[in-house]
Amino acid sequence: MTKTTINIGKVAVPIFIIALIIFIYFGSENKIDPDWNSTYELIPPKVKTLIESEADLQSLLENFHNQQFKNQSLGYQLAADPFLPTMEFEKFKYFFDLLTKNKYVVFSSVTGTGSSTIIDRIANLVALDKERILKINCAPQFDLIYHKKYIFLEEDEKSKKGELLKFWDKCFEQPDKKFIAIIDNFDKINPETFFGPQIWEKLADQREKVFFNGEEINIPENFYMITTTLSGIGSRVQLNNEHFKRLGGLYFLPPSTTELALYLNDKKKELKSEIDSKGKSNIEVKKLREYEALSNKENMHKVIYFFEKANDLIYDEYSRGLQLGQWNNLRKLYIPEQFDEMVMTFVNHVNATNPEKKLTSDSFENFFYSFSHDGKLKGSNFISTSFEVFKAWGFFTEFVVAASFAIVTALFSAYYVKKRKKLINKYLSESENIYQKYVASHLHSGEALEELITLKKEIDQDAKNGKINYAEAIFFYNSIRDRTQAIEITRNINQSFMQLVETFLEDNVISKSEHKKLNSFLEKIKFKIPKDDYNRLKAEVKKVWDEHGEKK
């Protein structure tokens, strides 16, 4: 029974250590970030843009207005007024459908998302004519002024309709047409003050009666309204459900990594076209550098991936409103030397709001790790995530104490074995390298012997410090001794050969018998010296005989 137990123990320990090593190896393997692959697929983007969607835009237009237009490019032309933006068609359709189905919407965005661009194009398709679009741009502290200008205007102690109420009159005058108002930056003023209490209530309940100079004020059925806010920064009024009940649902326009990729791809095409038309020699160095950066897939992936992940981090740890959009000036920072500037653009943007926790370049350390590890997420391995789970459960200390002993023991054993193996390979390799350099005539015999002596001193020191044991040191000494003897034998043979040649050449003639003695000498030492040395000496005999042989 005891013998069986001992045998099981002897087997179990190695199995446990092997299993532990395998567990650590695979358990410490980090996972690849899904965003790493998805952003790589954006080079180039495989999406349908507005420029490729003429028929789709026309269909969108005709379905909304419930009529066919003679001009089959009208939808495209309206979307391209004043220019056709770089945008996914599906994104445009999504926000267009939100408005046309709800009539009133609130679009919230951050700096550089291109919200004004998409809203203007949506308004063009809704109204068909600039005359049926009313744009109101809001600025802080002008609440009452806007109320008087757009709702009720008082002149000479008489009240007159403001521009919005006159706009509603136009809606009633042309019931078969559609009209739209865009109120930009509405969070910078008080919406209730802008509309006034009566119309504010009517927006919540159409049954509310509002009169102006004896005339009842109603909101037209063919009237649409887009309200915009800038999320996070500069808001004077925090809109809530009472506002959304009147102004429409809140929808966020997030930063678009896809549109950034589209912009970079278009920029690359633009530069390529210029280079092809003018010739490379006629293009500025700066533009050539830009084209090179845009053509480097690895560089583009780094830019696009960082844009995506930096915005995700800001959203998670700070605020959605502090993200940066794809049309911010950072889109121009795609040359490798500008990457640090791109990083600092995010840092400075967030820190300008004086957050309690400052954003620094170190905050993006995990993304930098992914750059150099093929997209792997730092700390995403099984072991790291398990630690976090144990922390959450409150068992972390007990787990660490129990696991540390086994892990440290296994790691120390593996480290010790690996280190000794590395040290052994180092000395064997260095000894062999010195000898091979000598054989290849890269080192003279004296230099080779000196390097072997230096290597022996290193071994002496490691033996004294306990890095290698006595048996290993003896093994290395024998190896060095063998190399040293081989070099010394070769050196002595060389010296003997040269002395023999000098003796035979005292009369400046090599006789046939002397030539025969030289060849006999070579045959005797043929297997005592390296092949290269033997061939060199053989060539030397031939040369001496050709120049000084008695046959001449």
pLDDT (tens digit per residue) in 292-313: 999 999 999 999 999 999 999 9
pLDDT tier at 2, thresholds 50, 70, 90: very low
For the cut 90, the answer to whether the pLDDT of residue 112 exceeds it is yes
Average pLDDT score, the chain: 86
Global pTM value:
0.66
Give me the pLDDT at residue 35, please.
94
Q: Residue 75, Cβ neighbours under 10 Å: how many?
A: 24
Give me the pLDDT at residue 271, please.
97
Strand ranges, E, within 55-214: 104-109, 133-137, 152-155, 158-161, 179-184, 211-212
Among residues of the chain, what percentage have pLDDT more than 70? 86
Please compute the mean of the pLDDT values over residues 162-185 and round it to a whole number: 97
Token code pair at residue 315? 């959203």
Distances (CA, A) of 466 to 425, 453, 459, 469: 17, 20, 10, 6
Token code pair at residue 522? 């070579």
pLDDT tier at 6, thresholds 50, 70, 90: very low
Q: Residue 186, Cβ neighbours under 10 Å: how many?
A: 26
Give me the pLDDT at residue 14, please.
67
Please compute the mean of the pLDDT values over residues 423-448 and round it to a whole number: 76
pLDDT tens digits for range 504-518: 777 888 888 877 887
Kindly report which listed range (67-71, 102-106, 429-433) carries the lowest average pLDDT score. 429-433
CA separation for the pair 422, 44 (Å, rounded) = 45
Q: 220, 171 in Cβ contact below 8 A?
A: yes
CA separation for the pair 316, 125 (Å, rounded) = 36
CB-neighbour burial class of residue 224 (10 A; exposed 0-12, middle 13-18, buried 19+): buried
Among residues of the chain, what percentage have pLDDT more than 90? 56
Q: Is the peptide bond before 220 cis (omega within 30 degrees of 0)?
A: no
CA separation for the pair 531, 228 (Å, rounded) = 86
Give me the pLDDT at residue 177, please.
97
